Amino acid sequence: MTGKLYIVGVGPGHHDHMTFRAKQVIEESDTIVGYETYVDLVADLIEGKDVYRYAMTQEVERARQCIEIAQSGRTVSLVSSGDPGIYGMAGLIYEILAESGWDRNNGLYVELVPGVSSLNSCAALVGSPLMTDFAVVSMSDLLVPWEIIVKRVEAAAQGDFVIVIYNPSSKKRIHQLQDTRKILLKYRSPTTPVAIVKGAYRESQTIVLTDLENLESHSDKLGMISTVIIGNSSTYMYKDMMINPRGYTSKYNIVEPQAKN
């Protein structure tokens, strides 16, 4: 029997923002595996299927089970929010397969189905903050030493990148974003625009537009389903929107000339 394993990104959670391919492979699958919160996002699409729900910290068990079930001949969708190739399960799946000597051309069929990541969905809600080069950094130091994360933040700050922060804080992780803010203030103005988006495209969605100086005063809006976007030296606010100029004004007149009477 020939099984299949789909690693599926369902986007921010609202079905309107899932890709057609994501819905297609979930429908094709007879088995669904995922972190319980992510499985709930597609509950209406998986009725009648075998469903395996996992807690947040069981990534290795989840990955192994997906592979084993698919190798037994079944069609499995491992679902996650956002894009599974960005801080998601895709890397772990491929690491385990590589350790086993898996051959992409002749072995188990594995397909990564990309989804809309937080950086896309959150940016769309607040304007156009990602028009120039940007860096993405996760504040989670569960798998990456904090010293390494600090180096990456420092480099992004020095390079004047717009910075997207994933996993900004949790109940046990408070100092990381505070330390990041201090690093950024060495290179950026306190009035640098900042957007905090929590639960993008979900019923619980909240959006806060603030600046680097006042970021800490909005700690109640931070958490594992929050994304923080910090502007660069060119970013500005306009009527509750965060705009990062692409640079057209330096080469073109973007304002249509007024007609003469």
The mean pLDDT value of the chain amounts to: 91
pLDDT mean over 125-144:
95
Q: Which residue has tokens 């009477």? A: 261
pLDDT of residue 101: 94
154-168, 216-230, 244-258: the lowest-pLDDT one: 244-258
Would the pLDDT of 75 be above 80? yes
Bridge partners for 111 per DSSP? 6
What are 13-57's pLDDT values in tens digits? 778 899 999 999 999 999 999 998 899 989 999 999 999 998 777
Residue 41's identity, in one-letter code, is L
Query: pLDDT tens across 143-191, in order?
Result: 899 999 999 999 999 999 999 999 998 777 778 999 999 999 999 999 9
Closest CA to 76 of 37, 39, 44, 50: 50
In the chain, the domains with their CATH numbers are 4-116 (3.40.1010.10), 119-243 (3.30.950.10)
pLDDT of residue 252 exceeding 70, the answer is no
Residue 224: pLDDT band (50, 70, 90) is: confident
Instruction: Quote the CA–CA distance of 87 and 137 in Å, as a whole number.
Output: 10
> What pLDDT band is residue 196 in, cutting at 50, 70 and 90?
very high
Instruction: Give the pair of three-digit tokens for residue 55.
Output: 């807690």
Q: pTM of the prediction?
A: 0.89
CA atoms within 13 A on the CB side of 239: 0
Name the token pair of 97.
């397969």
Is the pLDDT confidence value at 255 over 60? no
